[in-house]
């Protein structure tokens, strides 16, 4: 069946209760050095971060406290990162610029589009009348204008609609009439359909697909029960009308804003970039087991290789020729990589076409962001708070990754450990999980929704997961030590059998896991030699070393910067027991998780209190 002009607007997807964020926030939950955690930030991030056992009401206070310690750890590491001047690194400068322009554009959309939309009660009531009706229609279709009007003339002459339909190729698509519900189609088409009486047909209607004539075959009418503004039906219809008006306001803004704006891109540099990206992604695809329908992503290491493939003077050349502050090739590559670049077909012509489209989008968003900067949007508190929150999270990640990367275990250390155990080896706890790995935030939300409705996790993994080595096992890993697979192993070790956790932010995407088996730690006199166990010992010792380094350094930072928690403010926080995950669809394009994701990191607090009690 042909689908024409169906549309959906999603502004913010989350499982939160709306009233939660209607509160007024101004209180400080904790002070960390020269920064603070406000009740607004705590509630927002707590509600939008997955937690172990959050649904268990008796654990609510403990869950909130553990998350507060995790959030404090993030702030401590971010403060230290600034002292180490990591905020002057290219990665942070690029990400900060991207966040600034992202949230500026979002605020521009709010003021220029969303706040200019108003819906009257009368409009909603009219919408409720349509919403109460389900229409069933047949249609005639042609890509040729003359042909469709000839068919229309035949209908007006009294030739039965079914007689013409019986001779039409679209008959096979209409074994049953097509069901139409309110909000499903473009407003102009919908108005035509809802105004029909049974058996009547519309005049030819043009769509991007071609020309249609609709005939109303049946109408099922429900009684309108609720018209209060708080009712679900009222809210649904109001959102549909708002989205349609928003679309109109956006079209007017877009035309007026861009009608006198023009900037050129350097075609030679753009083509050279396409050639290099095509080569990198084609090589990646040929060396992997990706199918022809899988996306191929430009990953951080490949971005480094891409930059290194150019002479330094070329990277300084201007690729986007803004009169003020033109964009160099290096800056363009970094900002492009920050937003993510992927294709399915890695052939040069396809990569070039995709890059052309991304460049056009980049230029349009840049114009809007620069206008927002002129208007002083960067100084608006809600914008600055969002930028600061995301920037701090990136600083925290970069500094912690430096620590993790620096953790090494020598062969001698491993041998000493082996000998200390007197040839006895402690096997760590093992777990077995089913994982769903995806690179799409929309698919993450779909998966979480399907889990909530009771869908089988293994079937969801079979349908959605991108993890190659588990594809033949419907997402199941098989038992593995909790010291393996990084964050996945660590988090799985804290789950109860049957418990689901996620999403976990990974370099390769977003992971949602379900624990299906556990084997407890045990000691065994090894029958294997040191050389046979060496790699495993080194891996386990490194994991333990990283954990201790992170705990010790977080404690050190807590004493260095100081922390002060206000128990009254903390105890007054109102939170839900819903495990929620949000995707924020930003105005004028782009999307991010609704808040920066944080894996649990509260282990340091016990050592902090222990050392604090020893202090004079």
pLDDT digits (tens, 9 = 90+) for 337-349: 988 899 999 999 9
The chain-wide mean pLDDT, for the chain, equals 88
Are 23 and 99 found together in one domain?
yes
Are 22 and 105 found together in one domain?
yes
Are 108 and 144 found together in one domain?
no
Q: Is the pLDDT of residue 367 over 90?
A: yes
Residue 82's domain spans which residues?
A: 13-113+559-614
Are 502 and 449 found together in one domain?
yes
Quick one: pLDDT band at residue 392, thresholds 50, 70, 90?
A: very high
Query: What six digits make up the tokens of 508?
Result: 């390769």
Give 566's DSSP letter.
-
Residues with Cβ < 8 Å from 556, sequence gap 6 or more?
none
* 248 and 129 Cβ atoms separated by less than 8 Å: no
Q: What is the pLDDT of residues 21-58, one digit of tens each?
A: 434 457 999 999 999 999 999 999 998 888 766 666 66
State residue 607's pLDDT score. 93
State residue 340's pLDDT score. 87
What is the total count of domains within the chain? 4
Please give the average per-residue pLDDT across 448-453, as a whole number.
Answer: 87
Q: What is the pLDDT of residues 370-386, one digit of tens each?
A: 999 999 999 999 999 99
- CATH assignment at residue 490: 3.10.50.40
* CA dist., res. 442 & res. 464, Å (int): 12
Are 475 and 516 found together in one domain?
yes
State residue 471's pLDDT score. 84
Quick one: pLDDT band at residue 615, thresholds 50, 70, 90?
A: low
Please give the average per-residue pLDDT across 307-332, as a whole number.
Answer: 96
Flag whether 407 is in a domain. Answer: no
Are 439 and 516 found together in one domain?
yes
Question: Beta 509-519 vs 500-506: how paired, if at all?
Answer: antiparallel
Q: What is the pLDDT of residues 413-443, one digit of tens each?
A: 888 888 877 666 677 889 999 999 998 888 8
Q: 């902090």: which residue's tokens?
A: 608
Query: What six digits make up the tokens of 275?
Result: 């050639």
* 201 and 213 Cβ atoms separated by less than 8 Å: yes
pTM score, two decimals? 0.76
175 versus 202: the higher-pLDDT residue is 202
State residue 53's pLDDT score. 66
Quick one: pLDDT band at residue 2, thresholds 50, 70, 90?
A: very low
Flag whether 401 is in a domain. Answer: no
Q: What is the pLDDT of residues 146-162, one digit of tens each?
A: 999 999 999 999 999 99
Are 435 and 506 found together in one domain?
yes
- Cα 501–Cα 583–Cα 241 angle in degrees, nearest 5: 135
Which has the minimum average pLDDT: 47-56, 202-211, 459-468?
Answer: 47-56
Flag whether 2 is in a domain. Answer: no
State residue 416's pLDDT score. 85
Flag whether 434 is in a domain. Answer: yes
* CA dist., res. 1 & res. 491, Å (int): 45
Please give the average per-residue pLDDT across 481-492, as a whole number.
Answer: 88
Quick one: pLDDT band at residue 364, thresholds 50, 70, 90?
A: very high
Q: What percent of the chain has pLDDT over 70?
A: 93
Quick one: pLDDT band at residue 6, thresholds 50, 70, 90?
A: very low
Are 275 and 359 found together in one domain?
yes
Flag whether 169 is in a domain. Answer: yes
Flag whether 479 is in a domain. Answer: yes
* CA dist., res. 598 & res. 42, Å (int): 12
Flag whether 164 is in a domain. Answer: yes
Query: What six digits make up the tokens of 122?
Result: 């009368």
* CA dist., res. 132 & res. 33, Å (int): 57
Please give the average per-residue pLDDT across 448-466, as a whole number.
Answer: 90
Q: 């807590």: which residue's tokens?
A: 558
Q: Is the pLDDT of residue 11 over 60?
A: no
State residue 422's pLDDT score. 62
Please give the average per-residue pLDDT across 110-118, as a whole number.
Answer: 95
State residue 526's pLDDT score. 64
Quick one: pLDDT band at residue 505, thresholds 50, 70, 90?
A: confident
Are 279 and 372 found together in one domain?
yes
Q: What percent of the chain has pLDDT over 90?
A: 60
Quick one: pLDDT band at residue 20, thresholds 50, 70, 90?
A: very low
Q: Is the pLDDT of residue 15 over 60?
A: no
Rounded CA Rg of the chain:
29
State residue 127's pLDDT score. 92
Give 576's DSSP letter.
-
Q: Is the pLDDT of residue 8 over 60?
A: no
Which of 221, 236, 260 is where one domain is finished?
221
Backbone angles phi and psi of 215, in degrees to 5: -125, 130
Which of 355, 378, 401 is where one domain is finished?
378
* CA dist., res. 443 & res. 236, Å (int): 23
Are 109 and 139 found together in one domain?
no
Which of 500, 520, 540 is where one domain is finished?
520
Are 109 and 140 found together in one domain?
no
62 versus 14: the higher-pLDDT residue is 62
CA–CA distances in Å: residue 574 to residues 49, 386, 487: 15, 21, 29
393 versus 225: the higher-pLDDT residue is 393
Q: What is the pLDDT of residues 123-140, one digit of tens each?
A: 999 999 999 999 999 999
Q: What is the pLDDT of residues 537-590, one digit of tens each?
A: 888 888 889 889 999 999 999 999 999 999 999 999 988 887 777 788 899 988
Are 501 and 577 found together in one domain?
no
* CA dist., res. 566 & res. 555, Å (int): 19
Residues with Cβ < 8 Å from 245, sequence gap 6 or more?
117, 118, 119
State residue 223's pLDDT score. 81
Q: Is the pLDDT of residue 7 over 60?
A: no
State residue 5's pLDDT score. 29
């Amino acid at each position: 069946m042909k689908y024409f002009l169906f549309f959906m607007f999603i502004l913010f997807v989350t499982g939160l209760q709306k009233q939660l964020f209607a509160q007024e926030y101004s209180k400080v939950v904790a002070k960390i050095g020269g920064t603070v955690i406000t009740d607004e930030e705590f509630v927002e991030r707590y509600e939008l971060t997955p937690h172990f056992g959050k649904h268990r009401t008796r654990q609510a206070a403990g869950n909130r406290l553990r998350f507060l310690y995790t959030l404090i750890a993030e702030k401590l590491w971010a403060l230290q990162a600034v002292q180490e001047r990591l905020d002057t690194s290219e990665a942070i400068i690029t990400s900060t610029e991207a966040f600034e322009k992202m949230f500026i554009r979002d605020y521009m959309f709010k003021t220029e589009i969303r706040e200019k939309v108003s819906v009257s009660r009368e409009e909603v009531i009219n919408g409720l009348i349509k919403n109460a009706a389900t229409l069933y229609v047949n249609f005639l279709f042609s890509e040729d204008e003359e042909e469709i009007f000839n068919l229309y003339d035949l209908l007006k002459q009294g030739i039965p609609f079914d007689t013409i339909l019986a001779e039409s190729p679209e008959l096979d698509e209409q074994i049953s009439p097509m069901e139409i519900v309110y909000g499903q189609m473009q407003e102009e088409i919908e108005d035509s359909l809802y105004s029909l009486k049974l058996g009547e047909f519309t005049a030819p209607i043009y769509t991007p697909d071609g020309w249609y004539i609709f005939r109303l075959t049946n109408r099922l009418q429900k009684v309108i029960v609720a018209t209060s503004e708080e009712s679900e039906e009222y809210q649904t219809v109001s959102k549909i009308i708002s989205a349609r008006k928003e679309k109109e306001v956006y079209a007017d803004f877009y035309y007026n804003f861009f009608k006198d704006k023009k900037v050129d891109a350097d075609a030679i540099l753009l083509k050279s970039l396409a050639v290099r990206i095509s080569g990198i992604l084609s090589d990646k695809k040929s060396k992997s087991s990706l199918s022809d329908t899988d996306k191929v992503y430009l990953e951080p290491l490949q971005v480094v290789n891409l930059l290194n493939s150019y002479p330094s003077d070329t990277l300084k050349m201007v690729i986007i020729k803004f009169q003020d502050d033109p964009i160099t090739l290096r800056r363009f590559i970094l900002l492009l990589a920050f937003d993510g670049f992927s294709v399915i077909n890695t052939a040069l012509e396809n990569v070039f076409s995709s890059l052309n489209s991304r460049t056009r989008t980049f230029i349009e968003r840049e114009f809007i962001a620069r206008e927002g900067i002129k208007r002083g949007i960067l100084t608006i508190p809600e914008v600055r708070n969002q930028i600061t929150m995301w920037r701090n999270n990136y600083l925290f990640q970069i500094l912690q990754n430096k620590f993790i990367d620096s953790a090494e275990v020598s062969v001698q250390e491993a041998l000493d450990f082996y000998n200390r155990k007197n040839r006895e080896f402690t096997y760590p706890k093992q777990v077995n999980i089913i994982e769903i790995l995806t690179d799409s935030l929309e698919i993450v939300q779909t998966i979480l929704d399907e889990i909530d409705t009771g869908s089988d996790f293994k079937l969801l993994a079979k349908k959605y997961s991108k993890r190659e080595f588990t594809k033949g096992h419907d997402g199941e890993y098989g038992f593995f030590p909790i010291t393996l697979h990084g964050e996945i192993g660590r988090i799985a070790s804290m789950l109860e059998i049957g418990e689901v956790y996620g999403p976990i932010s990974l370099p390769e995407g977003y992971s949602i896991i379900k624990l299906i088996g556990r084997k407890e730690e045990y000691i065994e006199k090894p029958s294997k030699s040191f050389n046979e166990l060496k790699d495993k010992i080194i891996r386990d010792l490194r994991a333990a070393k990283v954990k201790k380094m992170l705990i010790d350094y977080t404690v050190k930072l807590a004493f260095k910067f100081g922390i002060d928690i206000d128990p009254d403010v903390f105890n007054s926080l109102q939170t839900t027991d819903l495990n929620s995950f949000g995707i924020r669809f930003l105005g004028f394009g782009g999307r991010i998780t609704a808040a920066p994701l944080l894996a649990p990191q509260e282990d340091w607090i016990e050592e902090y209190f222990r050392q604090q009690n020893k202090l004079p």
